[in-house]
Amino acid sequence: MQKYNAGALVVYHGKSAQVSAVSADKIEIRIEGGASKSVRAKDIEFLHPGPVSSLPPRALPEPDCCEIMELMEGETFPFSEFAELLYSENTSASFWAAYQLLSQGIYFTGSPADGVKARPKEEIEAELAAIRAKTQAKEQRAALLDRIRSGAILPQDRPLMSEIEQLAYGRSENSRLMRELEIEATPEKAHQLLLRLGVWDELADPYPARAGIELENPSLALPPLPDEPREDLTDMISLAIDNEGSADPDDAISFADGLLWVHVADPASVVTYGSELDLACVRSGANLYLPEKIVHMLPPEATAVFGLGLNEISPALSFGIRITEEGSAILEKCVRSRVRVERLTYAGAASRMNESPLTEIASALERFRRKREADGAMFIRLPEADIQLVGGKVAVTPVEVTPERELVANAMLAAGAAVAVFAVEHDIPMPFATQPAVEEKVPCDSMSDMYALRRLCPPSVVRTSPGLHAGLGLNPYIRVTSPLRRYVDLLAHQQLRRWIAGEELLTSEQLEEHFLSSEKESAARRKLERQVDDFWMQVFFRQNPEWSGEAVLVNRVDDRLTFLIPSLAYEFKSRWGGKIEPGESVQVKIRSADPTTLSAQFRIER
């Protein structure tokens, strides 16, 4: 066992140390850096009896290792002889230098206790090659970091940016490059860096990937139409009225024999409950509408087959509804049908509002609207806008509230109300849409009033028990007019088709099993749509840096103001210190827009 004396040079956790005192079971040492510690003999490694003049001992030049290796001739030398062979002296400095050279593990192997032996030449050459490669890689990495910091990356650097892209997409939680650059590893910071480096341009939208939503349409095959009886309603004038450019017309309206007819696309004829295609729709919940792309719930060919007016004759599920003098919607007919549909834009419908069948439809639906109003419906008319990406440019078009839009909306609501009442009367389990009433009474005289009312409205909920939908002024209500675009409508159609065919109805539990999942996914898609619209609004402002317009104050909490820009349906927050009351308007000019944080700053020019 090694005997330690005061002043001896030892190694403690890879650092040089000097023995300052020795007792029966403890050894006091002073470690390079000045710290003192009481240790056991097994915790230190003896190098030299000393004395040690400094810690660490003075540095010595590195010897010619190749010459030393030849002198050793493959033998194992005691450490003391190895140190003297290297430096031709027996001092604490030479022993410490020898220990450091041995610790490198390049030319020699062994330990102070077991002796030292030269490594084979081939091992040394491999080790040196690895060291050179590591050094080169380190230098290249440092050069890459310098290029990133200066914003001047090279084409060959582009693949190395993928880890930053994965972070920006939300697919990874960290990035070695971001860490080395001392940039916080968040999707927003990664997005900013990619824009600054020119790896991404301003049209790169990372939000769908962050939400974990795939932008691919389902690839499942659409089953053929079943051979089943359908009522021929092709003699009716049936009109599908929608936005210009709409690609998925799933409803049309007619009027005949005193009945308002609402014809709805019939994909439920081939998408049966529990089928592979049905379960795929459950997982989607609804179509996803983004300015850059529409992602369908159903395979795209479903629209080609079932979209009303896309073929000369379309299969449909048709609802014949009587609007009473009091304005109630009563379902008198629910049939599988064939319809001949003419497609119109809202502008085209406006020119025919004084013609049949739109005059009769408008008259009946006005009674229906008045009853909804009497029953507490909330007509919240806040600005809406359509955002489109056209040739790399963002276009924002206000959506005007017109009599034609109101007519179509009320027709769809009448269908949902009539089917809901019918389902209750015939004990048909259905996915009813409900919404509790707003407890606080709020006037609806201004834009700020309507903004406040919308904030107070609780979300609607789908459930199997009928109830009030306070916002619509309907009790009960079912969504039944968008089965190409929304799963809960498709599910309602699957149940109605079972009732028409006299088949066993789906139970409430079976309905819930599907719509609870689909509604959760649908809500995620609606949230993503809002987020992506906000992203493209930031791009719009960056593309139009001189934009200015009117903004209305719609909410104020102390010095925190919320403005709404009617022409863009865009709201922003500000701490502007001017005197202004809710409902008053100011002129604003865009100052900056950041798609990475979804925030725009405006200069108020009142």
Q: What is the pLDDT of residue 136?
A: 95
Same domain for 397 and 470: yes
Quote the strand ranges of 432-584, DSSP E: 432-434, 461-463, 548-557, 560-565, 570-574
268-278 pLDDT tens trace = 999 999 999 99
For range 362-367, the mean pLDDT: 98
200-242 pLDDT tens trace = 999 999 999 999 998 999 999 999 999 999 999 999 999 999 9
CA–CA distance, 275 with 271 (Å, rounded to integer): 7
Same domain for 510 and 575: no
Find the angle CA(453)-CA(457)-CA(461) to the nearest 5 degrees: 160
507-523 pLDDT tens trace = 999 999 999 999 999 99
For range 551-559, the mean pLDDT: 92
Mean pLDDT of the chain: 95
Q: Which residues pair with 7 in a beta bridge?
A: none
Residue 16 lies in a domain: no
Q: What is the pLDDT of residue 119?
A: 94
Q: What is the pLDDT of residue 312?
A: 96
Domain boundary among 535, 570, 590: 535
415-433 pLDDT tens trace = 999 999 999 999 999 999 9
Same domain for 396 and 488: yes
What is the share, in percent, of the chain residues with pLDDT greater than 70? 100
The tokens describing 24, both together, are 């029966």
CATH number at residue 595: 2.40.50.140
Residue 423 lies in a domain: yes
For range 32-55, the mean pLDDT: 92
Residue numbers of the domain that contains 173:
122-200
Find all residues with CB under 8 Å of 3, minimum gap 6, and list them. Answer: none
Q: What is the pLDDT of residue 248?
A: 86
CATH number at residue 178: 1.10.10.10
Helix (H, G, I), strand (E, B) or coil at 15: strand
**What total of structural domains would you count in the chain?**
3
Same domain for 301 and 408: yes
For range 322-341, the mean pLDDT: 98
pLDDT confidence bin for 558, thresholds 50/70/90:
confident
Residue 22 lies in a domain: no
Residue 469 lies in a domain: yes
Helices 508-543 and 487-501: angle between axes, nearest 10 degrees:
150
Q: What is the pLDDT of residue 536?
A: 98
Residue 11 lies in a domain: no
Same domain for 374 and 502: yes
Residue 80 lies in a domain: no
Placement of tokens 């403690």 in the chain:
12
Element holding 602 (H helix, E strand): strand 599-604
What is the share, in percent, of the chain residues with pLDDT greater than 90? 90
Comparing CA positions, the residue from 487, 497, 504 lying closest to residue 318 is 497
Give the CA distances from residue 485 to residues 120, 410, 464, 480, 601, in Å, rounded to whole numbers and listed in that order. Answer: 73, 19, 21, 11, 36
For range 108-123, the mean pLDDT: 94
CA–CA distance, 272 with 494 (Å, rounded to integer): 7
Same domain for 506 and 419: yes
Q: Which residues pair with 48 in a beta bridge?
A: 9
Domain boundary among 494, 511, 535: 535
Quote the strand ranges of 95-196, DSSP E: 108-111, 115-118
Same domain for 345 and 417: yes
Same domain for 429 and 356: yes
- The DSSP code for 452 is H
Same domain for 551 and 529: no
Element holding 304 (H helix, E strand): helix 300-306
CA–CA distance, 36 with 21 (Å, rounded to integer): 11
Q: What is the pTM of this model?
A: 0.84
Same domain for 380 and 275: yes
1, pLDDT greater than 70: no
Quote the strand ranges of 391-480, DSSP E: 393-399, 432-434, 461-463
CA–CA distance, 19 with 30 (Å, rounded to integer): 7
Residue 358 lies in a domain: yes
Residue 58 lies in a domain: no
- The DSSP code for 207 is H
- Name the strands in the sheet holding 599-604, side by side, starting at the edge strand that comes first in the sequence: 570-574, 560-565, 548-557, 585-594, 599-604
Domain boundary among 535, 564, 590: 535
Same domain for 130 and 190: yes
Comparing CA positions, the residue from 51, 31, 55, 53 lying closest to residue 43 is 31
Find all residues with CB under 8 Å of 346, minimum gap 6, and list them. Answer: 241, 242, 243, 244, 402, 404, 405, 408
563-595 pLDDT tens trace = 999 999 999 999 887 788 899 999 999 999 999
81, pLDDT greater than 60: yes
* DSSP state string for 35-84: -EEEE-GGGSEEEE-----SSSPPP-----HHHHHHHHTTPPBPHHHHHH
For range 318-331, the mean pLDDT: 98
Same domain for 570 and 517: no
